[in-house]
Amino acid sequence: MINGFEQTRVACGDVYLSVHRAGQGTPLILLHGYPQNHHCWAKVAPTFARHFNVIVPDLRGYGDSDAPPDNAEHSTYSKRTMAADIANMMNALGIDRAHVLGHDRGARVAYRLALDHPDLIDRLGIIEIVPTGDFWGAWNADLALAAYHWTFLAQPAPLPERMIGMDGAGYADWTLRAWTLAKGLDDFTPAALASYRAQMADPARVHAMCADYRAGAFFDRQLDEADRAAGAQIAAPLRFLWAESGFPARTGDPLDLWRRWASDVTGNACRSGHFAMEENPQAVLDTFLPHFGALT
């Protein structure tokens, strides 16, 4: 649990999502990434809840949310499907519009929500990604080695599932440690680490996480490429935070990539590895509280 938050399960179409909620005022939805869940927001969510009605769902396949099996088209865990989950969650909770802040896979859900359901989003925050199609397009040898999980997890089932299943907790620790600036686990709370390790010990959730990346390699990439060709644009004001030692920093000018997708884009880097909310929570608060209109 996040300190001060209450947990419920919400029917969102064909899945139930586990949702943590606290605060009052304008809704702010926080979407986590891989290999994490709602715990990744624990250091910043209580502060956000002083200013906003904060809603923190576990994405399908993660945390305590439902984890259905993938389909042949790899659309079950596409960002279009996961964005529809969030739209359905908003409807179930009686929320007409919200600010949305996403990290990693959750940021991919967030920008797909902004493209597919522009009427639902007031302001958009993105942490530590560039759009899926652009990231694939930026690959060279160095980026391929750093982001090997994009191709490993997307391999046909059940190859990665079986390999991770041999030592799920060890794989979780390896991934978390490798992507931090300090190359350690000290920035993660004991509760968060226990939860991330538990996911990697659950075959259904390991399959879901692999399906998430299979969608990224096929369905999501193709959808992004089609949208770019059609000139699709994000209408919501977009604020982008990336880590000096993270994945977007390896793509050249990551802010320029986002400016091709939206007309109102601002951003900055921070000193962190990939997990900014846990490694440098103050930078996340300093960047996004003003963007979402909080008086600090």
Which residues is 55 bridged to in the sheet? 21, 29
Of 32, 51, 274, 291, which residue is the catalytic one?
274
70 is an active site residue: no
Distance CA 246, CA 267 (A): 15
Identify the DSSP state of 181. S
Q: At which residue do the structure tokens 């359905």 appear? A: 88
Calpha distance 137→254 (Å, rounded): 12
Question: Tokens representing 47?
Answer: 């502060």
The answer for residues whose C-beta is within 8 angstroms of residue 110's C-beta and 6 or more apart is 31, 83, 100, 101, 102, 124, 125, 126
Q: What is the DSSP string of 251-295?
A: GS-HHHHHHTTBSSEEEEEES--S-HHHH-HHHHHHHHHHHTT--
Beta bridge partners of 240: 126, 267
Cα–Cα dist 237/119, whole Å: 13
- Catalytic residue, chosen from 70, 85, 104, 224, is 104
| Cis preceding linkage at 118, omega within 30 | no
Q: Is 187 marked active-site?
A: no
Catalytic residue positions, numbered: 104, 274
